[in-house]
Amino acid sequence: MNNETCSFMLALVIIASVIVGSAGKRKLSEAEIQRLLKQRNKFPVKSTKGSEGRIIDCVHVMDQPSMDHPLLKNQTIQMRPSGLPKFCSKKEDAFGKSEAMWNQLWRMNGECPKNTIPITRTTREDLLREASLKKKKLPPLNRSYVVDENRDKHEYAIMGTQGELVGGKARMGVWNPRVEAGANEFSLAQLWLISDPVVTTTVEAGWQVYPGLYGDTKTHLFTFWTDDAYGSTGCYNLGCPGFVHTDHRVTIGGVLPLTSVYDGTQFYLELAISMDPVSKHWWLYMAGEPLGYWHRDVVTGLDQGAQYFDLGGEIDNENPNQHTSTEMGSGHFPDEGLGKAASFFDIAVVDSSDNVRDDLGSFKPTITHGNCYTLYASTFPEGTGFYYGGPGRHDECP
C-alpha cells in the first residue's frame, strides 16, 4: 500500500469515527473541521437554495465525494445499470403515491444539470452534531419474536428472509414520526441487504427522522453502508466515499416532499436494491429509476451476494430510566390498519438463480419490544405485506 493510500485510509477512519459515531461526544479540532468540510463540499457547477433553507450544490458526477476513495480514483462511473431487475418493471402506481417522492422541494428553485448530482452543502454545525452520534447497529438475525426489557438499545419491528440473494424491493409508507429529544434518538423505515453474521457488510436505504444527523425533525431519504459490521467503515448518505450517486434530480439525505396523513392521503417510497449482473455493483432504485450504486470494491463482503434481506422499522431508545416516546412508523399500532398504521407491501426478493419471490412465505418477524412496537402480515391490493410500528412509551410500555 503506497503512502497516498495509507494517508487516505487514515483520513477515512477519522471521518468514519465522526460520521458513524462514537460512544460519547467527540470534540473536533478546527483542523479536522476544515478537512471534513473540504472533503464533503466539492466545487459546484451551480448552486441553489432549498425551501428547507439549505444550500444544494450541483456537483459534477466525477467530482463527488465517493470518487476520492483510493479504490475508485480514475475509474469510470457506471451511469446506468446493465438492465432493470425483474422486480423493477414499470407498472401503474395503483395503491399509493410513490412518484411524488421525486419532487424534492429544492427543485422549485432550480434543477441540477445532467451529469451533475445534487448534494446538500455541509456546515460546521452539521459536523459538530455528527460528532456526538453513536454507531449504527446490526438488526437481530435470529428471526424470532423477542421481548427484551434492556434499555438504551436499538429496537426493531422487521420481517426478514435468508438465502442466496442478489436483490430486494418494497414499497413503504412515508410518515413523520415524533422523535424524543436526544442526540441519538431516531426513527426509520428501511431495507437491508446483509452479507452474513460474521463479515457483516450491509447496504441500506429508506427514510428516517434523525435530528442529530440532519438538525431538524423532517423525514429524509437516506442510504447507509458498512463493510465491517459498523466498525470503522461506512456512513450515511454521501458523508464519506462509498455510495456513487448518479441521478441529477434527487438529493441523497434530502427531505422527502410529502408524508402520509393519519386517516388521510397516503404517500409511499418505492425502493429496490439489486446487484448488477455485469458490474456486480449494488444499485439503488426509486420508483423503478436508478439513483446510484455501492461499488463492489467498497462493499467487498457482498461480492457473492447477500444472505439476508430485512425490511421494517427501527428506533433508538436512549432513555435509561423509562422507555422512549419516540414513535415508529405512523406512531400507531398495526391493528389500526390501512391509512392509519405504517406498512410495507409489494415486497420481492431475487435469488442467485434469478428467481423472484414475491410472497411472505419465507419471511419471519423479529420484534424486540412487542408492547412498544409490533407488526403483523396483511394482504394489500399489490400483494402481501405487513403493518408495523407503535407509539413508544405508554401504559403497557413504561
- The catalytic site residues sit at 204, 314
Any idea of the CA torsion for 17, 18, 21, 25, to the nearest 10 degrees? 110
CA nearest neighbour of 319 among 181, 162, 193: 181
**End-to-end Cα distance, the chain:** 53
Cβ-based neighbours of 6, under 8 Å, separated by 6 or more: none
Distance between CA atoms of residues 96 and 269, nearest Å = 9
Q: Which amino acid is at 137?
A: K
The enclosing H or E element of 10 equals helix 3-19
Q: Whole-angstrom Cα distance, residue 229 to residue 60?
A: 31
Q: For residue 122, give the C-alpha cell.
A: 455541509
Nearest-10 crossing angle of helices 3-19, 30-40: 100
CA 137/CA 156 separation, integer angstroms = 11
Go through the chain and tell me how many residues it has.
398
Residue type, 31: A
Alpha helices per DSSP H over 177-317 = 211-214
Instruction: State which H helix or E strand residue 294 sits in.
Output: strand 289-294
Cβ neighbors of 109 (< 8 A, separation 6 or more) are: 48, 49, 50, 51
Q: Name the 3-class secondary structure at 67.
A: helix
Candidates 255, 223, 257, 215; CA nearest to 239 is: 223
How far apart, in whole angstroms, are the C-alpha atoms of residue 354 and residue 166? 8
381 by Cβ neighbours in 10 Å (0-12 / 13-18 / 19+) ranks as exposed
Nearest Cα neighbor of 173 from 348, 50, 40, 342 is 342
Q: From CA 262, how far away is CA 97, in angstroms rounded?
A: 15
Backbone angles phi, psi at 84, to 5 degrees: -70, 135
